[in-house]
Each structure stands twice: as structure tokens, then as C-alpha cells.
Amino acid sequence: MSEVQNAHPEAILIEGLSKRYGKGDAAVDALKNVDMRVAPGEVIGLIGPSGSGKSTLLKCLGAVIEPTAGRMSIGGETIFDSATGGWKNSDLRALRRDRIGFVFQAPYLIPFLNATDNVALLPMLAGRSNSQSRQRALELLQALDIAHRANAMVSQLSGGEQQRISIARALANQPPVILADEPTAPLDGERALNVMRILRQMAVQYRTAIIVVTHDEKIIPTFRRIYRIRDGQTYEEQGQQ
């Protein structure tokens, strides 16, 4: 199965995105007219040195901070447009919960919940019943080959198992977009490549667009497309796949 099947509408479309901190002589342009397109089912890398604007771009797309200018769309729906007043969603918390999944360097699982309940919590917060949420969680754990750990507490899970649970949690509400911030940083080479294999598999299976921010040289060859960011500007290039 092809990793990218249908690029229209783009799962992620960013046009002319800018972010300025401060005013006057103290102003700093963290992003400068950034353009980016990511298709459903595609996993792309976002690579750049510290201070280049990677985290700012992720926070803007994740509706954590407000851009200064530009436009962002998810799944063909505009979520921000500076030309028409900014955010199009009055409830950014709900936007993040329902439309965007997050995977971090650390799993950030809730220690007093087992693996299934850590994944089921998000659908329940979105209004699904307990049985529906747990069924969704179990389906994802099965897809990630970790269903045998469904009742394990966080303290009983290995680091790699915890990261799989965090990926399942990010997929729990079937978001069109997942933002992964250094998801392989604490892992050795084999485990890092396994996480990337899982992300690619999940992207295709659930038609999810995934942006992976990374400094990890081990996984850079796994991307088919890369956006390098320098001084707040992005440059697209083909990966080594």
C-alpha cells in the first residue's frame, strides 16, 4: 500500500505563516512566511537546529500559540486565517482534542491508569461512552501489537511499550493530524526505527498526516519528504526513501 494515497484535500496546509515575538526593536521573527503541505497518510520530517523555529511551528499548528500572520488548514477546514480575524474555532481546547494528536519525547502517561484506560480517556472526554472508548482503545492496542499489555499499569511497561501506548492515545479520536515532537530521542537505534515503522503504518492505516520534529540522525533516512527549517523559514527536500 502506498504511504500517500490521495493528496486532496491536504491533511495539513500552511500558507504564509509568520510568528513575531515582541515589538519594535525587540521584535524577533520566529517564523517567516512558512508554507507546508502534508497529504493524508504521509509522514514528513521537520528538521533544524535549536532556535530555528521548529517548536514555534508545531505550537502554532497545534493551536497552542497564535500566529502573527498566515493561514492554516486541517483536513480541508481552515482553522486560522489572519486575513479574516484569526482562529476559526472558538474552543481551541476542543480543536486540539478532536483534530490533533500529540506524541512527545516522554510518553506522559497517567500512572494510576492501566494501558487501556490511558488510551480510552481521550474519547471519553470527547463524549463517547465508556464501552465505546475502551473498544476503540483495544482496537488500537491490537493494531500496535501491544494488546497483551492492555491491563498493565504504566510502571509495568517498558519504555518502548509506553511509547506505543502514547501513539495509540494520539490516534484515539481519529485525528487527521499527529504532531510528534522528538518521539525517538530517548530510544536506541533499533527501537527508534521501530517507532518510525509504527508511525508510518498508522499513518497509512488511519489516513493520518504526521509531522515528526527530530534531531535524531538515525531516523532521517526513513522520511520520503523533509522540511528543513532555518531562521524561521522552511525548505522542502526529498528524503532518502
Per domain, the residue ranges of the chain are 12-238
Which pLDDT does position 239 carry in this prediction? 66
Which pLDDT does position 208 carry in this prediction? 94
Q: What is the pLDDT along the chain (241 residues), one digit of tens a residue?
A: 344 444 457 899 999 999 999 988 888 999 999 999 999 999 999 998 888 899 899 999 999 999 999 999 999 999 999 999 999 998 999 999 999 999 988 889 999 999 999 999 999 999 999 999 999 999 999 988 899 999 999 999 998 899 889 999 999 999 999 999 988 877 777 888 888 888 998 899 989 999 999 888 888 888 989 999 988 999 888 766 6
Distance of CA 221 to the CA centre of its chain: 19
The overall pTM is greater than 0.75: yes
DSSP code, position 234: E
Contact 201/137 with Cβ under 8 angstroms? no
Classify strands 86-87 and 77-81 as parallel, antiparallel or unpaired. Answer: antiparallel
The CATH code of the domain at 12-238 is 3.40.50.300
Select from 71, 126, 69, 72 the least CA-distant residue to 101.
Answer: 126
Which pLDDT does position 195 carry in this prediction? 85
Which pLDDT does position 8 carry in this prediction? 54
Number of H helices, E strands in the chain: 6, 11
User: What is the number of other CB atoms lying within 10 angstroms of the CB of residue 126?
Assistant: 13
User: What is the number of other CB atoms lying within 10 angstroms of the CB of residue 149?
Assistant: 20
Q: How far apart are CA 178 and CA 162, in angstroms?
A: 17
Select from 195, 194, 199 the least CA-distant residue to 171.
Answer: 199
Which pLDDT does position 241 carry in this prediction? 60
| Helix/strand/coil percent split, the chain, to 5 | 35, 30, 35
Q: How far apart are CA 31 and CA 17, in angstroms?
A: 7
